[in-house]
């Protein structure tokens, strides 16, 4: 049986090109290669606060029947206690939500394609307060493709995901996500 997974970024405009291949790879690795994933674009979310409001108030009526929601906020504001509370709140509404804060933000996943080309050590990139502007943008300019939709973000993700075990080592929150998704569907099949 195929499952449907709603992927909720803080902003779908560019993050969708990163998150779609990432979530597809995670789902396949968790045994759900036939899962249908959709990047939330309606409503188009604009930042963390807008995303939280939509998840709590607007999305349950429209997307509550989907099998799993995955929320990818930037880690600067998505504190562990707040994410657990959000998951619990949605569970009370009958919605399975897994939060996966990107450390420091979603663009780090593209950077995993070329970690030695970042100009800083990997762990410094994962803590960098201006990752998108100072590390990711030069990498995208160098290895992306301005003629492609998303300027080559999908191309970078394709490269980053070629070695999934290495990707999990570089971005351990994604390994945790994979394990949580696998557990969710394993529990679901027991019910």
What is the pLDDT, as a whole number, of residue 72?
A: 97
**Cβ count within 10 A of residue 109:** 27
What is the pLDDT, as a whole number, of residue 28?
A: 96
What is the pLDDT, as a whole number, of residue 12?
A: 83
What is the pLDDT, as a whole number, of residue 190?
A: 55
What is the pLDDT, as a whole number, of residue 131?
A: 97
The tens place of each residue's pLDDT in the chain, 191 residues long, gives: 579 999 999 988 889 999 999 999 999 999 999 999 999 999 999 999 999 999 999 999 999 999 999 999 999 899 999 999 999 999 999 999 999 999 999 999 999 999 999 999 999 999 999 999 999 999 999 999 988 888 999 999 999 999 999 999 999 999 999 999 999 998 765 55
Do residues 101 and 172 make contact, with C-beta atoms less than 8 angstroms apart? no
* Cα–Cα distance, 72 to 11 (Å, whole number): 10
For helices 12-29 and 153-160, the axis angle rounded to 10 degrees is 20
Letter string b/e over residues 37-47, b meaning 16 or more CB atoms within 10 A of that residue's CB:
bbbbeeeebee
Question: Is the preceding omega at residue 43 within 30 degrees of 0, hence cis?
Answer: yes
- Global pTM reads 0.94
């Amino acid at each position: 049986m195929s499952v449907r997974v709603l992927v909720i970024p803080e902003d779908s405009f560019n993050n969708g090109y990163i998150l779609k291949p990432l979530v597809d790879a995670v789902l396949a690795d968790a045994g759900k290669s036939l899962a249908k994933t959709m990047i939330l674009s309606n409503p188009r979310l604009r930042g963390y606060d807008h995303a939280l409001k939509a998840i709590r108030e607007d999305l349950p009526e429209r997307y509550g029947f989907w099998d799993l929601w995955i929320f990818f906020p930037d880690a600067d504001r998505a504190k562990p206690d707040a994410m657990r509370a959000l998951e619990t709140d949605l569970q009370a509404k009958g919605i399975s939500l897994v939060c996966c804060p990107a450390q420091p933000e979603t663009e780090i996943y593209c950077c995993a394609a070329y970690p030695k080309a970042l100009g800083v050590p990997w762990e410094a990139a994962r803590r960098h307060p201006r990752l998108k502007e100072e590390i990711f943008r030069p990498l995208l300019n160098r290895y992306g493709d301005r003629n492609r939709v998303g300027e080559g973000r999908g191309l970078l993700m394709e490269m980053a995901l070629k070695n999934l075990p290495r990707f999990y080592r570089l971005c351990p929150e994604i390994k945790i996500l994979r394990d949580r998704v696998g557990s969710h569907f394993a529990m679901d099949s027991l019910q």
